[in-house]
């Protein structure tokens, strides 16, 4: 007769966390920073598989780790946001609610399934000048176990995140112009990429949540536009 | 989101039907209740028109909604931007029409976000025709939805427009079209004023003339209401996306018609 092994819950969780962390550290980093005109999202990504995507009018999503997993999660987010916005009003779709819902889904998988999701995500929301209680931007980071945190100013995930964060901590200041924020984002990502030269515009995926746009605030920049931002125009 | 649904595709309309049936408009149920309620008591939108011009397409609609012989609303909106390059105009039972325009705009945005690129203009028109077909039971009871759909085809670099029938039949038109109770009169007017190479400004003039003609002959069409300051909605769609004709511009076109009439012109 076989005896079932006893494994302590602590051990199970630690093993799962270790497994997820390994998967995530293999990838490259993504940063999100607030600037004068909204939120800038930047990833080192020369492929056509996007790591940054639009969820709703004011909300964007970035993921690191296993592409199929975070892209699936992004789609779940779009379905959730579009359904909520359709059932209520477009203004009722808010970053915090969405981030909490993501956190629940990821946390559920972490506790229930054998294999945790190998991903970490950012939910970014740009503020709305029309409403007193919604003026500020929000950046949420959600980890592989569903742990959610709120980051004023900037946030980085994936890859060599400590190096990236240390550049951001040193050089970030509130209310930077978009061009300066783009340069800082590139500097931070280049530090994480451990290379001697800086990343060029073609190997960056850059998206904006632009306060000034009407309706949907999300826009994806072409390599030329990124170069323009880096050159400070 | 805590519970993921069953639907995994890219259509918002299908997502509602599969995972959120309480939100999906059950169009056939509207049809059954229309029998008891009387379709004449439901607000109806009246005249909308669309035409190609040199740089793209124009879509216009008056602002009146009627319920039987009464005015239901004087400033209803019947022309909707469904995405940056397409416009839908509705005539028929206002409730289902507006709902359909709302779903279509979410549908197009939803597809774009999930797939990473937007549908072709023809694909958008096709989607609309499927939604109209789903409304057929209601249409048979008097709650018909008869939209016009137009947009700028960014691949073919031209404006295109479609009309529909209540069964979801989809017909691409090469020049112009108008539907609703005053549609016949608007079409007659367009026939005289329209030319393939109209400038944007001339296209707006022709549109105002057509709506004025429709309002003259059809009591359910609103036209330009200078007294109350209610103007038709005129949207232009070209390679730069949408723009609206301003109220001042529409008022100027209408005053020119009134002046010509006062001077004895046959307008």
B17 at the A interface (CB within 8 A)?
no
Instruction: Determine the average pLDDT of the residues in B70-74.
Output: 89
Q: What is the pLDDT of residue A112?
A: 92
Interface of A with B (CB under 8 A): 50, 53-55, 75-80, 82-83, 85-87, 98, 101-102, 104-105, 108, 216
Q: What is the mean pLDDT of residues A71-87?
A: 95
Residues from chain A contacting residue B114 (CB–CB below 8 Å)? 75, 78
**Per-residue pLDDT tens digits for B110-142:** 999 999 999 999 999 999 999 888 877 777 777
pLDDT of residue B36: 56
> How does residue B26 score in pLDDT terms, banded at 50, 70 and 90?
low
Q: In percent, how much of chain B has pLDDT > 70? A: 92
| B28 has pLDDT over 70 | no
pLDDT at A232: 74
- Chain B residues touching residue A86 (CB < 8 angstroms): 12, 16, 23, 102-103, 106
Three-state secondary structure of chain A: CCCCCCCCHHHHHHHHHHHHHHHHHCCCCEEEEEECCEEEEEEECCCCCCCEEEEECCEEEEEEECHHHHHHHHHHHHHHHHHHHHHCCHHHCCHHHHHHHHHHHHHHHHHHCCCCCCEEEEEEECCCCCCHHHCCCEEEEECCCCCEEECCCEEEECCCHHHHHHHHHHHCCCCCCHHHHHHHHHHHHHHHCCCCCCCCHHHEEEEEEECCCCCCCEEECCHHHHHHHHCCC
pLDDT band at B37 (very low <50, low <70, confident <90, very high): low
Nearest C-alpha neighbor of A182 from the set A194, A171, A196: A171
pLDDT at B168: 86
Which B positions 109-128 lie with beta carbon below 8 A of chain A? Answer: 109-110, 113-114, 116
Residue B39 in this model has a pLDDT that exceeds 60: no
Of A53-67, A191-205, B109-123, B250-264, the poorest mean pLDDT is in A191-205
Chain A hits for B113, Cβ within 8 Å: 53-55, 78, 82
Distance in Å, alpha carbon of A134 to nearest chain B alpha carbon: 23
Residue of B nearest to A74 (CA): B114
Do residues B234 and B58 touch, judged by C-beta distance below 8 A?
Answer: yes
Q: What is the pLDDT of residues B226-244, one digit of tens each?
A: 999 999 999 999 999 999 9
Best probe of the B interface among A83, A146, A148, A217, by most B CBs < 10 A, is: A83
CB–CB contact B15 A76 (8 Å): no
Asked if B192 reaches chain A (Cβ–Cβ under 8 Å), the answer is: no
Mean pLDDT of chain A, nearest integer = 93
Mean pLDDT of the region B77-89: 95
With an 8 Å Cβ cutoff, are B23 and A87 in contact?
yes
Q: Which residues of B are catalytically annotated?
A: 46
d(C-alpha B33, C-alpha A133), whole Å:
43
ipTM of the complex: 0.90
| Closest residue in A to B114 (Cα–Cα) | A75
Confidence category of residue B44, pLDDT binned at 50, 70, 90: confident
B59: which 2 tokens?
């879509």
CB B107 within 8 A of CB B11: yes
Provide the pLDDT for residue B30: 58
Task: Sort out which chain B residues have CB atoms less than 8 A from A108's CB and list them.
Answer: 2
Averaged confidence pLDDT in chain B: 89
Rounded CA separation A59/A54 (Å): 7
Q: What angle do CA A198, A203, A207 make, to 5 degrees?
A: 105
User: Would you place residue B266 in the very low, low, confident or very high pLDDT band (cuts 50, 70, 90)?
Assistant: low
Q: Do B113 and A105 touch (CB under 8 A)?
A: no
A31 confidence band (pLDDT: 50, 70, 90) = very high
Contact A55 B114 (CB under 8 A): no
Query: Do the Cβ atoms of A82 and B12 come within 8 Å?
Result: yes
- CA-CA distance, B238 to B223, in Å (whole number)? 25
- pLDDT tens for A107-154 read 999 999 999 999 999 999 999 988 888 899 999 999 999 999 999 999
**Lookup: tokens for A28:** 């490259």
Per-residue pLDDT, B144: 78
Nearest chain A alpha carbon to B5: A76
Task: Say how far residue B14 (Cα) sits from the centre of its chain.
Answer: 23
Total-model pTM = 0.90
User: What is the tens place of the pLDDT at every residue in A153-188?
Assistant: 999 999 999 999 999 999 999 999 999 999 999 999
CA atoms within 13 A on the CB side of B4: 17
Interchain proximity B1–A105, CB inside 8 Å: yes
Q: pLDDT tens digit string along B48-65?
A: 999 999 999 999 999 999
* pLDDT tens digits along B168-224: 899 999 999 999 989 999 999 999 999 999 999 999 999 999 999 999 999 889 989
Any chain A CB within 8 A of the CB of B21?
A: no
Query: Quick one: average pLDDT of A41-62?
Result: 95
| Model pLDDT, residue A23 | 85
For B8, the enclosing helix (H) or strand (E) is none
């Amino acid at each position: 007769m076989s005896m079932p092994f006893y494994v302590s819950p602590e051990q199970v969780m630690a093993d799962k966390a270790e497994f997820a962390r390994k998967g995530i550290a293999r990838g490259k980093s993504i940063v999100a920073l607030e600037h004068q005109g909204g939120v800038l999202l930047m990833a080192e990504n020369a492929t056509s598989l996007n790591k940054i995507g639009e969820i709703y009018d004011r909300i964007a999503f970035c993921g690191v780790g296993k592409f199929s997993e975070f892209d699936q999660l992004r789609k779940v987010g779009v379905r959730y946001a579009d359904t909520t916005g359709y059932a209520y009003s477009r203004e009722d779709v808010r970053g915090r609610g969405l981030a909490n819902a993501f956190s629940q889904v990821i946390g559920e998988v972490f506790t229930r399934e054998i294999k945790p999701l190998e991903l970490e995500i950012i939910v970014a929301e740009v503020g709305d000048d029309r409403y007193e209680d919604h003026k500020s931007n929000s950046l949420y980071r959600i980890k592989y176990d569903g742990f959610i945190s709120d980051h004023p100013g900037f946030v980085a995930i994936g890859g060599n995140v400590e190096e990236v964060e240390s550049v951001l901590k040193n050089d970030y200041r509130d209310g930077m112009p978009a061009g300066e924020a783009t340069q800082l984002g590139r500097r931070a990502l280049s530090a994480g990429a451990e290379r001697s030269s800086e990343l060029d515009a073609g190997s960056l995926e850059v998206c904006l949540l632009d306060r000034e746009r009407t309706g949907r605030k999300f826009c994806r920049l072409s390599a030329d536009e990124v170069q323009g931002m880096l050159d400070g125009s | 989101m805590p519970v993921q649904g069953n639907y995994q595709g890219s259509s918002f309309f299908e997502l509602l039907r599969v995972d959120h049936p309480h939100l999906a408009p059950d169009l056939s149920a509207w049809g059954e209740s229309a029998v008891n309620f009387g379709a004449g008591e439901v607000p109806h939108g009246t005249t909308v028109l669309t035409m190609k011009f040199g740089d793209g397409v124009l879509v216009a609609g008056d602002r009146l909604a009627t319920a039987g012989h009464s005015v239901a609303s004087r400033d209803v909106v019947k022309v909707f931007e469904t995405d940056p390059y397409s416009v839908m105009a509705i005539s028929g039972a206002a409730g289902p029409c507006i709902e359909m325009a709302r779903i279509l705009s979410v549908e197009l945005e939803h597809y774009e976000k999930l797939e990473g690129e937007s549908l072709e203009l023809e694909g958008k028109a096709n989607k609309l025709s499927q939604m109209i077909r789903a409304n057929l039971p209601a249409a048979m009871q008097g709650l018909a939805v008869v939209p016009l759909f137009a947009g700028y085809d960014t691949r073919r670099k031209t404006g295109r427009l479609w009309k529909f029938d209540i069964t979801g039949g989809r017909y691409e038109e090469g020049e112009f079209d108008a539907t609703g109770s005053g549609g016949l009169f608007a079409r007659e007017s367009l026939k005289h004023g329209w030319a393939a190479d109209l400038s944007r400004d001339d296209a707006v003039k022709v549109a105002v003339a057509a709506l004025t003609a429709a309002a003259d002959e059809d009591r359910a069409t609103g036209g330009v209401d200078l007294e109350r300051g209610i103007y038709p909605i005129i949207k232009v769609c070209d390679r730069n996306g949408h723009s609206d004709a301003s109220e001042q511009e529409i008022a100027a076109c209408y005053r020119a018609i009134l002046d010509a009439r006062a001077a004895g012109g046959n307008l």
